[in-house]
Amino acid sequence: MDRIIIRGGNRLAGRIPVSGAKNAALTLMPCALLTDEPLTLRNLPRLADVDGFGHLLNQLGVSTMVEGAHPADFGRVMTMRAQRLTSTTAPYDIVRKMRASILVLGPLLARAGEATVSLPGGCAIGNRPIDLHLKALEALGAEIELAAGYVKATAPGGRLAGGRYTFPIVSVGATENAVMAAVLAKGTSILDNAAREPEIVDLCNCLLAMGARITGIGGETLTIEGVDRLHGATYRVMPDRIEAGSYACAAAITGGDLELVGASAGDMRATLAALVEAGVTVEEQRDSVRVAATGGMRPLTLSTAPYPGFATDMQAQFMSMLTQADGASVLTETIFENRYMHVPELARMGADIQVAGRSAVVRGVTKLVGAQVMATDLRASMSLIIAGLVAEGETTVSRIYHLDRGYERLEEKLQAVGADIERVGG
C-alpha cells in the first residue's frame, strides 16, 4: 500500500493550480441520467471517487468517454450519455465504497420512474443518515420501501408529481437528490430550508443549461418547475474550494506565499475570513487567491456550520495549522459527531489537543516532530500532510487512498512549490 513521506521544514512558495471540485463533480455526474443526450463536463478532477462514480454510471447503462486528456494534465473532459438505461439498480458493492452513490436515486426515479439503491456504507440510518433524502422524495410523490439493505423507490404512474418539502435541518445531499428528482416532475416543487452551498448552485446552473426551470438559486427556498425532458449540455465544474482552503493552510503553517490559481474567493469567504483573523495575508485576484504568512499566527475560535458558515470539511486542516498559533484555539464541530479522528495522530507528532464532546482546544506548540501516522478519512489525511510540512524530521502517512479520493496529484502540486514530499509504494 502506498505511503507519503514528508521531510518538513520547507517554506512553500509559488503557484498551485486548483482542480475541479470533488463534491461538485460527484453531484454533476448523475445529471447524465436525466437525459438521453450527451452531457459533457469540463475540469473534472482526476480522483478515485470520480472514477468510481463513472463505473457506477456504466453499470446503469451510461457510456463515458474521456476526450483528449493527457495523463500528465490536471483535470479531464468527460462526455456521458445515458441514451438507454440498462439498469435502475445501484448495487451494494459499489455504493458501500462511496456515499455519493446515493445521488443516483433522485435522477433514476425522475427518468425511469423507479430506482433501487443500496443503503450507503452498509448502514441504514447512521451518523450520516439518508432519511431526509427519502422524506423529500416522498414529498415529491415517490413511494419508498426499505428492504434487504436497499431503498426501493417508485413513482406512481411512472412520473413524480412534485410537491413541497421543508428540510428540518440543512442537508446538502438531500437537497441535491430532491432537486434532480424534481426537474422532471409533472408539477412544481418547492424546497424550503434548502442547502446553499456553492456545489448546490453549481448543480442548479448545470441543470439550467440542460433545460431545467429553477428559481431561488443560492437561497433557502428553491422552486423547480418540472419539464417533460432535458437536453444535453457542456458544463465546467467549479473550482474546489476545499482543496484551495487546504493549500492555504499549508501556506500559513510553513510561513509560505502561495497563489492558488483558479480559486474562487466568493465560494470560500468563511475560510478566507478565518485565515485573515489568524493573521494570514489574503489577496483576492481576478482568477486566483494569494495567501501569505508573514508573521506570528493568532489563535482562533471557530465553529463549523452549513454554508455560508465555516465548512466542516476545513476543520481538520485548520486544526493542524493552529498547532503553530501563539495561544489556545477552540474548534467546535457541529455537523458530524465523529470528526476528530485525526487528533490522536496529530498528538503523535507533538500536538497539544484536548477534545471534550464536540469541542477541541488546540494549544499552540513551538514545533511538531515527524512520526508514522495513519490517515482515517479524507480531510483528516490532509491535516496530517499539513502538519508534516512543518514538522521536524520525517513524517510517513499511511492509508493515503483517502487522499486519492479528494486531492488531485497532491504530492506533485506540493513538490512544485518547494515541499520535500514523495509517494512510495508498499
Q: How many CB atoms lie within 10 A of CB 143?
A: 12
The whole-number pLDDT of residue 338 equals 74
Of 335, 332, 337, 334, nearest to 301 by C-alpha is: 332
Whether 123 sits among the annotated catalytic residues: the reply is yes
- Say yes or no: 231 and 246 in one domain: no
Q: What is the Cα–Cα distance from 389 to 327, expressed in whole angstroms?
A: 21
- Say yes or no: 12 and 26 in one domain: no
pLDDT in tens, 210-255: 999 999 999 999 999 999 999 999 999 999 999 999 999 999 999 9
- Say yes or no: 31 and 12 in one domain: no
- Say yes or no: 213 and 290 in one domain: no
pLDDT in tens, 19-34: 999 999 999 999 999 9
- Say yes or no: 59 and 119 in one domain: yes
- Say yes or no: 230 and 261 in one domain: no
- What is the pTM (predicted TM-score) of this model? 0.95
Tell which of 236, 265, 283 closes a domain.
236
Q: How confident is the model at residue 362 (pLDDT cuts 50, 70, 90)?
A: very high
What grid cell was written down for 15? Answer: 503557484
- Say yes or no: 287 and 349 in one domain: yes
- Say yes or no: 248 and 226 in one domain: no
- Say yes or no: 58 and 47 in one domain: yes
Catalytic residue among 31, 123, 204, 206: 123
The number of domains in the chain is 2
pLDDT in tens, 145-158: 999 889 999 999 99
CATH number at residue 290: 3.65.10.10
Inform me whether the pLDDT recorded for 208 exceeds 90.
Answer: yes
pLDDT in tens, 259-276: 999 999 999 999 999 999
- Say yes or no: 178 and 88 in one domain: yes
Amino acid type, 306: P
- Say yes or no: 338 and 374 in one domain: yes
Binding residues: 22-23, 99, 128-132, 313, 335
Residue 75: left (phi > 0), alpha (psi -120 to 50), or beta?
left
Tell which of 181, 211, 236 closes a domain.
236
Place of cell 473532459: 77
Tell which of 182, 214, 236 closes a domain.
236
pLDDT in tens, 301-359: 999 999 999 999 999 999 999 999 999 999 999 987 778 889 999 999 999 999 999 99
E-assigned strand segments in 143-187: 143-147, 150-154, 164-166
Enclosing domain of residue 381: 3-19+239-424
The whole-number pLDDT of residue 121 equals 57
Binding residues for UDP-N-acetyl-alpha-D-glucosamine: 99, 128-132, 313, 335
Q: How many CB atoms lie within 10 A of CB 294?
A: 9
- Say yes or no: 268 and 184 in one domain: no
What grid cell was written down for 100? Answer: 455519493
Binding residues for phosphoenolpyruvate: 22-23
